[in-house]
Structure 1
Amino acid sequence: MHPEAADHLERELAVLLRRSRAISRETARTVHPDLEPEAYSLLVRLDDVGDARPSDLAAFFGIGKPTLSRQVQLLESLGLVERAADPTDGRAVRLRMSALGAEKVEAARAARRERLYARLQDWSEEDMTQLATLVARLNSQL
């Protein structure tokens, strides 16, 4: 272990995470003024996977079912998420984004990407690729 390098990394990650939370709050609010960042993360996950069981979403995010249930209820009340019967288990449901949810999330993600591109416009492709590779490696170990 390299204590000084690890301390520096920990400080920089803390700053990155604080900034990321702020950006997530902003992005969530572009989807709907009442949307919390955690609920926006659920929408992004559904956008990535298409549909999912609530229990799978809770496991993916490491949250309890009651917390997930509150977020899903909010998303449903805003017309952003729909429930559908699970074809493999008649007792279970799957969640998917509504057409409105898909439209809003795509617009929010596009705007978020544009802001990132604007901030990194002076970075080389090699630097961005290297950073993405290292962050992916970190994510896989966390």
Structure 2
Amino acid sequence: MAGQPQYEELMRQFSAFGAVKREMGRILPSDCPSGSAAVLTLLARHGDMRMSKLSELLAVDMSVTSRHAAHLAERGWIRRSPDPADKRGRILHLTPAGLARLDELSERTCRMLAERLSDWSDDEVAQLSRLMARLRASFDDGRAPAAPPVFEETTRTPATT
């Protein structure tokens, strides 16, 4: 098992990764902020779904999901229809215009990643993808969080950037 210094460095890297996410967010068009892009991505990946399911996948309150859905529907990128099983609920559908917008966002993001990682080998990019998927799976697999490891007292500064 890795030791405290390795986990502290990992925490610093997680914190610093916020800069990468902000940079990626800056390439999004003003009419499609990151929350809207996330909704389009989830609908493309998972298909039509209820607002409640989308809210769960986004890990946000239903009111936030509702605002995202309204924003996307106003632009014609999604369609909301009554849920046949519960007329009070809504099913969200990705429209052809929404799919085209998602393709454009994907192209922008891929272009930026290709530029920023131009000095990385294909193997390094693949390794990063595998490790990030494995990390995400470690948090998504439903395992109960293990008891935190007991570390000796240290005088190091907290792992923030």
Regarding TM over 0.5, the answer is yes
Equivalent-residue separation in structure 1 for 2:119 and 2:32 (angstroms): 33
The structure carrying a bigger helix percent of its residues is: 1
Change (3 A) 1:39 1:25: farther
Do structure 1's residue 52 and structure 2's residue 53 form an aligned pair? no
CA RMSD of aligned residues (A): 1.8
Which structure has more RCO (C-alpha within 8 Å, separation ≥ 6)? 2
Change (3 A) 1:25 1:137: same
Equivalent-residue separation in structure 2 for 1:126 and 1:35 (angstroms): 32
Do structure 1's residue 114 and structure 2's residue 115 form an aligned pair? no
Aligned length: 137
Which residue in 2 is equivalent to 1:35?
Answer: 32
Question: C-alpha deviations, 1:56-115, integer Å up to 9, x for none?
Answer: 11111111111111111111112211113446x252432122221111110110121122
What residue ranges of structure 2 are gaps of 5+ in the alignment? 140-161
Equivalent-residue separation in structure 1 for 2:44 and 2:19 (angstroms): 24
- 1:53-132 mapped onto 2 (5 Å cutoff): 53-86=50-83, 89=85, 91=87, 92-132=89-129
Change (3 A) 1:16 1:107: same
1:122 Cα deviation after fit:
2.4
What residue ranges of structure 1 are gaps of 5+ in the alignment? none
Equivalent-residue separation in structure 2 for 1:128 and 1:25 (angstroms): 22
Equivalent-residue separation in structure 1 for 2:5 and 2:26 (angstroms): 32
SS at match of 2:27: helix
1:121 Cα deviation after fit:
2.4
Which stretches of structure 1, 4 residues or more, deviate above 6 A after TM superposition? Answer: none
- 1:8-23 mapped onto 2 (5 Å cutoff): 8-23=9-24
Query: Identity over the aligned pairs, expressed in percent?
Result: 24
Q: Give the TM-score, by structure 1 length.
A: 0.85
